[in-house]
Each structure stands twice: as C-alpha cells, then as structure tokens.
Structure 1
Amino acid sequence: MDQSKAQLQIPPSLVEYLRDVLHELSEKPYPEIPNPPNLNKRASVAVILRIKPNYTHWPSPDAPLPHKSANDSNRERIQAFFGQEWVKHGDPELLFMKRAARKGDRWTSHVALPGGRRDPEDADDKAAAIREASEEVGITLDKGSCLEVGNLPQRLVTTSWGKVPLMVLCPYIFLITKHDIPPLRLQPTETGSAHWVPLRALLGPGQRTFELQDVSSRLAHQEVGIKKWFLRAMLGRMVFAAIRLVPSESTYCTSIEEFYPLEVDSRESRAPGIPSPIPWIPRLIPRREQTYPPTKPLLLWGLTLGVLADFLELLPPHNALRLWTYPTFTPWDVRFVVWALSYRFRKQKERELLAQSTPDMMWGDEQNEVEREVFSRAENGFKINPHRKDIPLADQYKTTEEEAAEVGISGIPSGQNHASPVQRRNSGAVSLMLEGYYDIVRRAVAVALAGRCVGATALLFFLWHRRRSLTRS
C-alpha cells in the first residue's frame, strides 16, 4: 500500500499557526493577578507542548541542532525550532495527567495539567509550575530541553457557584525542543497516568461530549449523606461541557491500586475454565468483571478545559468557544429556567466577544456590516477579517492599542491586558462568558424550586378540592 495513502496527513498549517501563536504569547505576556483580600493561596499549571515527528520525516540522530545562543530572544529560538524539517511535518501534542484517586481531594481522578500549589520556597508562579511538573510527571522544564514560551490569562478559581474564592490559578506554556525526551516518571501519590494528546484531537468537534457532576461537589463544603441525597433529588446533576481525549501515548503508574487490584476476590482469582465446586453460587453472586488499566474515557472538562479553551481558540478551526456550553442541570424544569433567565446574558456575552475581534476604527453602517460578516464567518468556523483576507493570523483584526475590560469569574477582576491582536480576541474568554453567570444560576434555582412548590401546592389543593366535592356528592 502506498505510504502516503496509509497515513493521515497532518495539515502543515496547524504547525505554522502554532508557531505564530507562540510568538505572540512569548512577546506579550499577560499581567499577574493579585490575590483578593484574605486569600493567599496561589497555584500554577504547566501547559507542556511537544512536536511528535512524522514517520516520513523522522529526525536523524546526526542532524545538527538549531543554533541557539544565550543572547537569542525567545522569538529567535522559536523560529529556529520551527524551522527544522521534522518539526514542519510533525504533530503538535499536549501533556495531560489523570490525578490519583484520593479521598477528600476535590479534584480526585480528574484529568488535569501538571501543577499544584505554590510553596513559600518558590521564586514565583512559573517556578511553582516547573517544580510541580518535575514532581508529578518527572519532566524537566529547563532551558536546555524546552522553551519557556509565556503564560495564559491568570484567573480566580471559585466554588459554590462563584461565591467562594479558592485560589488564583496561573498557567504557563512550555515547548519541548527534543523529539526523544526521557520516559515520564509518575508520582504515585499524585498521578495515576499521563497522556500525550494531539492538538487535532482537542480541536475536533467529534470529540465534544459532557460530564455529569453532583451538585454537592460544586459547593465549598462538599455535602455527604442525607444532604447530598436532598441536593440530588432537588437539582439532579450539573452538566458541563467536556472533550473526550484520544491519547497518542499513555504512561500508567503501575504501582497504584487504580492500575491493578492489590487484593483480588477469591471468586475472581479462580482460573478460567475451572468450574466452581458449588455450581449454583455464581448464579446467585454475579462475578464482578474489571479490566486494567481502567477503560473509563478520559474527559477534559471544568477548570482545565476553561484554561485550554482560550489557547485552543487561537488555532484553526477557531471554534473552541463556539462548542463550549454553559453549565446547567439535568432536571428539565431547572434547565429551562436557567436557559430563559440567562438568554439575554448569553447574547450579550457573544456581542462582547465579537466586539473584541472586529475593527475599532469603523463606525455606523460600515461597522455593522463588518460585525454581521464576521459573525457569519464565526458561525462557519472561520476567523478571517473580511477586509484583510490575504494577511497572516497574527496581523488579522488590527485594532487600536487600548486596554480591554477586565474580566473574571463571578465579577472578580482578573486584570487581563489584551495587548496583541490575537490576545484581544481570546484572553480570558471563558472567564468573560462566566462573569455573572452563576448569579443568574442561583436566581434560576430559586425560581425553579419556588415553581415546584407552587405546582405541588396547586396539585394538593386540586386533589383536596376534588375529594371534598366527591364526599359532598
């Protein structure tokens, strides 16, 4: 079979777009967000990128490395790396980890980015990301093997539907410059597995799904027992947008119980084909079937998806935010009330995002025409300035140099300065879309529960009145 037909061709434009985006992020970093009053907790995560070589363009061990000097700027180093032939035909990938199962951990077994809380000995937030990546997955993010590209917008993480602040999260981007990095070393107490996922798999609309979570897990004090049952009975579960991950390479921590059971039930330890001494027992006690490593799908959702949505939106087909959905609930009445009360809010957020991507120097009918055309193109997955179709991504959407509005989760500012044209459109977009949303959610839940009470009261009154009428007759 022809090799060119047997392989899935990777669009070179994706690598080129990634190069342009990394240029922008390295030259125009986002500012630091100060901690809110009475909250000193900060955490950092590492967005680790690599280029996986293509079979037909595998780098030779004798190939010279791109020239790098201590005086080279980040832009020159990025340009030299992406100038290599194997990089031009490679497949960009991101590193994710699945956290180990731990009781009492809010993010137990979640798919996440390597990272954790900043310690007092860390020099800054970026140092915390480098240290955590080394501890959790055993990858060294030094200047000899990677490029410190820049950062993504910092954000305030909240719980209890935006009411209780937890910490400030600081994402940093690192680009691995070697194609033969050492095997990952997973910390058993923190990491269950690690997965390299192609950017193409993250950008594909076919991988979009949803994740169901108990309402109690979204509160500051996660409820258990009767309170958890009551919340589930009243509000069902929360529905979050998610991406089903398709890894190209996975590493499992084989020393933890999640990978293989340390203690096996006697019914399961019996070899296949050996009959039970009492044949009727297996019919009364069903045999538990398990496969290891676990086959449960890897879902990217929640905070990690929010961090990456801004980055993925910079890459073609630029539909990460179009496919992202607002959190809601499973009961139809609560979902309907949330949708109805947030309708104008969601439309307003769409207009705010659109306003950041259209030219500022137009007024009147010309501006309206541009907005309609850009919005139409956004619906079809394109991100092209209708008046400048022949220029690269980094030069599209030219705007005046002014600060955009500061955004944050639940109205708490994040201090983001949209300095570059690319960043103006995408910086903190998920935070912008969520700003004020949970205030509407709380009102919608109250309205829905009040509606249930009114409906139940009306039904009881009808039944009582009907029974009374029948008794009189």
Structure 2
Amino acid sequence: MGLTMTSDSGLSHHLHGVLSELNRRPYPHVPNPSSCKKRASVALIIRVRPTYDHWPSSTHTYDTSQSAREQLDGFFSQPWVQHGEPEILFIKRASRVGDRWTGHVALPGGKRDPEDADDKAAAIRETSEEIGLDLTTEDCISVGNLPERVVTTSWGSEPLMVLCPFVFLTTRSDSPTLRLQPTEVASTHWIPLRALLSPSQRTVEYVDMSQRFARQGGFLARLAIRSLMGWMQFSAVRLLPSETQQCTTTPGFLPDDDKPKRSVVQRFKEWCLSNQAESSDTTRPLLLWGLTLGILADFLDMLPPHSAVQMWKYPTFTVPDLRLIVSVVTYHLRKRNARNVKPGARPSDTASDGETAALSVTKMKCDDHDHNEVGIGGLGVGRYYGASDQATDGTSYAVGIMLRGYYDRLKMAIWVFLAWRVAIGSVAGISAWRLLRRLR
C-alpha cells in the first residue's frame, strides 16, 4: 500500500498515540554480556514543524510538574500540532580514521562514560556535545525508549557494546539552534516522518566486502574479489531533508588547495575500491541503512501504513549469477519463514552493515545461555544473547523470523557460486586449450 498521507491527514494523531504507548510501556533494560562492558546511547529527537495554514498564534506553556503523558496530551491538543509535519533529526558523521561508522547517517549519541548516571544520561550528554542541543529543558519531553541491542562484530559472536535508543520530543514551534562539533558531525538533517514512511524512498546501499575478505591481500586481491562477487546490497531509505545544517569547519568541507595531487594509480585504486563517499561530499544522496535503520524499524512500523515488513528486502549481491544462486538456494527457506510471520507482527530491528550486526534483546539469560545465531553484517555471523524475536507482549519480530537460517544459506550459496565459477573456468580453459591444439 502506498503512502498517500498528507500533513493534515492525521500523522500527528498517530504519532501522539505511539509516543504515549512508548511512555506507558518502556522496553526492558538489557545488561551487558559477560565479555563486554561497553554501552552506548543514541537520541531519537522528534519535532513538529508548523504548516503555513496552521501557524501557532501563541506560545504554549507546560507545567513541568505534570507527567510526560500529560505533557504529551497538552502538546498534541494544539491545532498547529495536529496539522503539523512531524520530523526526526539525523546527523551525518564526520570522516574519522578507524571509525566503523565514518560518514554514516546516524542519530546523535555515543559511548557511555563512567560519570553518566545511566544510559539516558549518556544520550543527553552526547547530544549536547555533538550538536549543542539540550534535552533537559522545559520544552523537551523525555518520552521513553526503544529496544536495546547487543551490537556484535559482523564476523562472529564478539559483542562490541549494548546500544540504547531513547526518544525525545521538542515542543518548540521554531527550529532549535544547533552547534555542531566539527570532529564528530559533518551535518544535521531534519527528515519528515512522511518521507521515512514513503515506499517511493526505499532504495538499497551497496557495500564493498572485498576489504573484509582480503585484509592482508593488498589492492590486487581486493580487486579480484570485487570483480568476482561485486557489491553486497542492503535495504536503505533515501532521506529528503526539510532542513539541513552543514558544519563548514569540518575538514574537507571546502577543497584543500594545498592537498598534494593524487597519482593516476592512486585515483584508479580509489575508483576501483571505494563505494563510500567521504562525509564532506554533499552531493551524495543521504541514505539511512544499517544500524540506524534498524533502530528506526520498530518506531516506523508503529505508524501508518504499517508496511515495514512488505518493504523490507533480503540482503544479496549484485553479480547476476551469484544473485541467482542466492535466490535459488534460499527460496524454500524464505517461503517457509514468510508463512511463519503472523499477521500484525512487529518488524525486527535487525540491523547490519559491512562491519557490525545488532538485534534487540527483550529477555536476558544468565551467563550459561546459548549463543544463538542470527543475522550478519556483510558475511560474518552476528549473535545475540537471549530471545530476540519475541516482544514483551508476546508478538514476534517479523523480519527476525524471516531471517532465520538465511545467512547460513547465504554462505552455502557463496560456496556453490565459487564452485560454479571454478567449473566454468575449467571448462573455458579446456575448450581454449583444445581450440589452440586444433589451430596448430
């Protein structure tokens, strides 16, 4: 079903219901696995932009002694809010050497420090440091949280951190002043909820897996793997900002005239092996994918048209014969898993990219738990701790069910593909050798 909703058709009404439900029923705390002590928090910041025909006539005052639920009711009772355009704030990270998520679209946030009182305090502090937005003022409502996730390396079960998303609503009718930290943030973008929900904005992100396969093999090994397997393809959402703020002091925002010119060989290598533009490249489309898209999946599916599962697509590859083999090898599994998805099931916030994988965890076991295999980022197997496809109300995470066993079949498909390519190469070699003998 396509999204035909306009700003006047009730999206704010649905948002009010979702935020009230998140406030009423918070997701449970997820303790760290025994082998990982790091925690990180991000802030999902929402605002409502007034429309031309429904502009606020006066400033609404809030009684801070009221509960968050009462403050939400008071805010959404205003006509300009009811007819307004809900938006979410994203950042584009600055380019940093060694950063797994360099240049990615993300939510403000970062690692929890020892001085942080709790996970929410970490989200508030990091937001203030990265974009200069104070989430503790009277015009900001702390709504609740989304499912916490154990983030693992994509090549195994090593946990990196527990990721905790928190939801905040700014009640201001004007744009808050942002102060971007140049070493952390290249730009900020307010994205309308309607654009995030629109099927027309669904696209894919292409990830170069050659570096993962040939870390020690150098340029030629990476080029060979890229030529053989192509790109890995992940679901993504194309972002349409209503308002953008660039950090002009970010290194690389303006061309560096003193930067030494690259040789032809260096430019050829970059052209062959780079699929991720630097964060200073303002011409590249903004894409929401990977871990951040995973965080948004639960939230977006609570809103009409509730079609996150239908728009979700399985990870695959771009090389035609590998893509075909993946499709054939996983066909019956995909059909079987689709039958197990119950109507109305909430989509998984399964998130993966070329480096990491993450799943929400709603129930933790003790240290002798089984490490159950789930999704992967790239081609490595990610793992979670405890049950992740059951929400607290007993409903299932639909995409989590759809992914069961998929990556095991994907690895099998790669081996079949390699055998197929060896066989084709052998046949071609023998045929060429016979042809040369005849010509002699």
- Tell me the TM-score range normalised by the shorter chain: 0.7 to 0.9
Structure 2 residue 294 is the aligned partner of structure 1 residue 306: yes
Q: 1:330 aligns with which of 318, 334, 337?
A: 318
Q: 2:50 aligns with which of 53, 60, 69?
A: 53
Q: 1:65 aligns with which of 39, 61, 66?
A: 61
Q: How does 1:254-403 map to 2 (within 5 A)?
A: 254-263=248-257, 294-354=282-342, 357=345
Q: 1:445 aligns with which of 408, 411, 414?
A: 414
Q: 2:29 aligns with which of 13, 17, 32?
A: 32
Q: 1:157 aligns with which of 136, 151, 155?
A: 151
Q: For 1:23, what is the secondary structure of its paired residue? A: helix
CA positional deviation for 1:300: 1.0
CA positional deviation for 1:433: 4.0
Letter in 1 for 2:423: V
Letter in 2 for 1:32: H
What are the superposed Cα offsets for residues 282-308 of structure 1, whole Å, 9 maximum, x if unpaired?
Answer: xxxxxxxxxx97222111111111211
Q: How does 1:177-188 map to 2 (within 5 A)?
A: 177-188=171-182
Q: 2:231 aligns with which of 237, 243, 251?
A: 237
Distance 1:448 1:352 in 2: 29
Q: Is the 8 A contact 2:8 2:84 kept in 1?
A: no
Q: How does 1:5-16 map to 2 (within 5 A)?
A: 10-16=7-13
Letter in 2 for 1:36: P
Structure 2 residue 245 is the aligned partner of structure 1 residue 251: yes
What are the superposed Cα offsets for residues 344-367 of structure 1, whole Å, 9 maximum, x if unpaired?
Answer: 332333333325649xxxxxxxxx
1:174 to 1:407, Cα distance in 2 relative to 1, 3 A: farther
Q: 1:120 aligns with which of 91, 114, 122?
A: 114
Percent identical pairs in the alignment equals 49
Structure 2 residue 384 is the aligned partner of structure 1 residue 412: yes
Distance 2:179 2:217 in 1: 35
Distance 1:220 1:156 in 2: 27
Distance 2:134 2:153 in 1: 32
1:33 to 1:353, Cα distance in 2 relative to 1, 3 A: farther
**RMSD in angstroms over aligned alpha carbons?**
3.2
Distance 1:220 1:38 in 2: 28
Q: 1:108 aligns with which of 102, 110, 116?
A: 102
Q: Is the 8 A contact 1:35 1:168 kept in 2?
A: yes
Letter in 1 for 2:77: G
1:266 to 1:463, Cα distance in 2 relative to 1, 3 A: closer
1:30 to 1:347, Cα distance in 2 relative to 1, 3 A: farther
CA positional deviation for 1:212: 1.2
CA positional deviation for 1:208: 1.6
CA positional deviation for 1:136: 1.0
Q: For 2:309, what is the secondary structure of its paired residue? A: helix
Q: 5+ unaligned residues in a row in structure 1: which ranges? A: 1-7, 268-291, 359-401
Q: Partner residue of 1:147?
A: 141
CA positional deviation for 1:338: 1.7
Q: For 1:354, what is the secondary structure of its paired residue? A: coil
Letter in 2 for 1:418: A
Q: Partner residue of 1:92?
A: 86
Q: Is the 8 A contact 1:159 1:218 kept in 2?
A: no
Q: Is the 8 A contact 1:216 1:222 kept in 2?
A: no
CA positional deviation for 1:462: 3.6
CA positional deviation for 1:435: 4.6
Q: Partner residue of 2:39?
A: 42
Q: Is the 8 A contact 1:32 1:415 kept in 2?
A: no
Distance 1:223 1:158 in 2: 25
Distance 2:333 2:120 in 1: 35
Q: 5+ unaligned residues in a row in structure 2: which ranges? A: 262-279, 347-361, 364-371, 376-381
CA positional deviation for 1:45: 1.3
Letter in 2 for 1:338: V
Q: Is the 8 A contact 1:43 1:168 kept in 2?
A: yes
CA positional deviation for 1:454: 2.0
Q: Which has the larger radius of gyration?
A: 1
Q: For 2:53, what is the secondary structure of its paired residue? A: helix
Q: Partner residue of 2:19?
A: 22
Q: For 1:55, what is the secondary structure of its paired residue? A: coil
Q: For 1:187, what is the secondary structure of its paired residue? A: coil
CA positional deviation for 1:253: 0.4
Distance 2:310 2:77 in 1: 32
Structure 2 residue 410 is the aligned partner of structure 1 residue 455: no
